Structure 1
Amino acid sequence: MTVWSARKKAARRPDSSARGGADATPTPAVETSLAPTTGWLVRGKDGRLTAYAPSEDAVLRWTETRPGGPEWTGPDVLEAPGLLPYLSIAQGDDGYVHLVGLRRKPLPDGRMNTEVVYALQYQSGLGLRDWYAVGSPYPNDPALSAQIGPPGAVVDGEGSLHVFVRNVGGGVCGRAQTPNGKWNKWADHKGSGGIGAVHSALTDSGLVEFVLPTADRVMRWEQETVGVKFVRADDVPAKAQADSPAAVRTGEGRLSWFWHSAVDGTVDGWRPSMSSPITLGSGTGTGPVALLRTRVDGHDCTILAHRDTATGRPALAAYPTEDESRGASWSLTGDPCVGAPALAVDGRGRVVMAAFGVDGSLRVSRQKDEPGLALEAWTQVG
């Protein structure tokens, strides 16, 4: 996810966890050490959409004033001292939103401590709970902790938060809450040669899967039942760009994974019933693939979005769910963006695509009230 400098005219203070400035609007900071993320546009239990972006020592947040918009408030500036410019977002069936990232803080001896942290938002537009330290697989070695990858996060079928990080050997370590809210110890899920961040997702039966690309394959882990240990599944024979994988539920107990090919930048789709990934259209992109499954004109469709390689503009595609043989045609939309776009369904049932412009403003486009997947003109939120 893109970093923003937290400068805002009359920034709103919803509670003690937000702070306001009085200078300019938020603008992108030059930060390329951590990759962008998607999934930052979330619909709350009250039907309102919220957009999140990490900033310097803070998280910026925009919230619809009512379900379906079009008005928004924000950005609210939610303090997060030491937070690095990366944010993984997970939402449970209860609607609560978990913000997960990495924090660096100086130790008494002058070294820097790196640890996974998370904060919880119960309701749209309200303040965050305090940032809680989940720690590191290397609690006694700051030098090793500094080498872990950005966290992936998912809430399982029991409502427990799981966090995963790439460890120093290129495998995966994870830590999870128990149903009563306490945290288990860090577990080593093995693996080697991994690059980028771990990406996790949840099936409709509440089972967690996660993947981590290597130079020539995609490592994958899964659960047999809720609450049990993860097992290493067969590797996927694919060269995927680091930080690009994402998954969406496409059938009973099934996830379909998508990523950008490390060979030519096209989007590849895969699920366990496939012997090898299938390329979806000729469009090429960078960063993670935004995903959404919804009905369009009564048809079950999978919608994809990414940042186009050549133009830097958002691009959108759709096809009948699990019918990759039908292909997908990519259409450019809007102005050049930074980071990765996000997709959601708003409180009125419309597909919404959001992206951050190169000027730092949040841009939003909604599905037109007509047949098909045509989008309205983009509007600038803040």
Structure 2
Amino acid sequence: MNGDWLMRGRDGRLSVYLPSGDAVLCRAERGPGGLWSDPRKVGGDQKLHPGLLAVGQGADGYAHLVSWRPTRPGESGLVHSTHFRPRLAALDWYPIGHPNRTGDRTGVPAVAVDAEGRAHVFVRNAAGGASMLAQKEKGGWGPWRDLKGSDVHEDLAAVTGESGTVELYAAVPGAILHWRQEEPGEQPVLEEAMESGIRPGTLRALATSPEHTTLFYTDDSGDLCVWRPGTKPLALLPSAGPGPVSAIRCELDGHDCTLLAQRSASGRVAFAAYPTEQESAGAWWTESGPQLPADAEVSLTLDEDDRVAAATVSPSDGRLLLTRRKDEEGLALEAWREV
């Protein structure tokens, strides 16, 4: 999954989106802080390619999901669904095409939602660059656009800044590329290439101030690094595990902090927090919860009371575990529970 799959909906309920075979399932709280619903299929009966799901959320609380579906032998197309509220059914999957018009899957998609609620879908194309298409202001979709680039790794990180403009990060051999909209609704422009060794599959981006988005990634030496375009990258701390981090901003003891979570090499969930955009203050990992399967993923959000909530899920066993921050100082968490 590409993006934060644990979300707080418009009505305050938490929900999760979980790939399951040739479908995507949604589970949601029946009431804020209450019991959870049984899994429900998202988007109707169309069959999807397994494990190629992108999830994004707009300021309106609506969830946007993008995945690949088979269309004919050897060919595939992307589909999109909008989920307005966790307790309602999501819209049926709507075909949005292929970056090269026809062909098979080209990479894991990424999705970001701008200030007007328009989804922007990004994916690697068959030539090795990045392509995108976006929803129109009055409905429907615009054309596919080639953002250029070459030798782009399969995984992309899309993010919406506090200004409402959409940005894209992509890894290429020995560097990271950054595209940014100069104005809302415009095509993102390649603004900067930053040289760095990077482990594939570790990109995660977060809006951290009105001026900046911040990219988190693991470099060749195993350090979790932080980069804001226009500055030099900084090694924050050793990576806790092999995959990408989940990252959110939250208030801890009255301070605007960035909280990171990652499945650690020991199999538990590791958390680290520091004052937002003040990496010089330092950060360190603290582990929590039970040991998890090697394929477990972690996601963070804020609940209806703006408390940190964290979830893990393992595709191999399907267990969904959840915890919340206690109502006390620091990052004390409740006991993890299966939902």
Q: Do these two structures clear the TM 0.5 threshold for a shared fold by scoring above it? A: yes
- Equivalent position of 1:100 in the other structure: 66
Q: Which moved more, 1:351-360 or 1:130-139?
A: 351-360
Note the C-alpha offset of 1:253: 2.8
Note the C-alpha offset of 1:165: 0.7
Distance (whole Å) between structure 2 residues aligned to residue 247 and residue 185 of structure 1 = 25
| Partner residue of 2:247 out of 276, 281, 291 | 291
Note the C-alpha offset of 1:135: 0.6
Note the C-alpha offset of 1:116: 0.9
Measured against aligned partners, the alpha-carbon deviations of 1:111-169 in whole angstroms (never above 9, x if no partner) come to 23211111111111211111001110222x4xxx2151111111112221111111122
Residues 276-287 of structure 1 aligned to structure 2 (within 5 Å): 277-287=233-243
Note the C-alpha offset of 1:272: 2.0
Distance (whole Å) between structure 1 residues aligned to residue 173 and residue 34 of structure 2 = 43
Q: Secondary structure at the match of 1:53?
A: strand
Q: Secondary structure at the match of 2:39?
A: strand
- Equivalent position of 1:192 in the other structure: 150
- Equivalent position of 1:29 in the other structure: none
Measured against aligned partners, the alpha-carbon deviations of 1:264-310 in whole angstroms (never above 9, x if no partner) come to 332111102422x11222243222210110110101100001122x2
1:333 aligns with 2:288: yes
2:5 counterpart letter in structure 1: W
Distance (whole Å) between structure 1 residues aligned to residue 320 and residue 105 of structure 2 = 32
Q: Which residues of structure 2 form unaligned runs of 5+?
A: none
Using the size of structure 2 for normalisation, the TM-score is 0.94
Query: Is the 8 Å Cα contact of residues 260 and 285 (structure 1) preserved in structure 2?
Result: no
Distance (whole Å) between structure 1 residues aligned to residue 137 and residue 173 of structure 2 = 36
Larger RCO (CA within 8 A; separation ≥ 6): 1
Distance (whole Å) between structure 2 residues aligned to residue 102 and residue 173 of structure 1 = 15
Q: Secondary structure at the match of 1:325?
A: helix
Measured against aligned partners, the alpha-carbon deviations of 1:176-230 in whole angstroms (never above 9, x if no partner) come to 1110112111111100011122211001111111011012001111111111222
Distance (whole Å) between structure 2 residues aligned to residue 290 and residue 319 of structure 1 = 14
| Partner residue of 1:265 out of 205, 222, 226 | 222
Q: Which moved more, 1:225-234 or 1:292-301?
A: 225-234
Query: Is the 8 Å Cα contact of residues 137 and 186 (structure 1) preserved in structure 2?
Result: yes
The aligned length equals 334
1:74 aligns with 2:32: no
- Equivalent position of 1:51 in the other structure: 16
1:65 aligns with 2:30: yes
1:94 counterpart letter in structure 2: D
Residues 7-26 of structure 1 aligned to structure 2 (within 5 Å): none
Q: CA RMSD in A?
A: 1.6
Using the size of structure 1 for normalisation, the TM-score is 0.84
- Equivalent position of 1:26 in the other structure: none
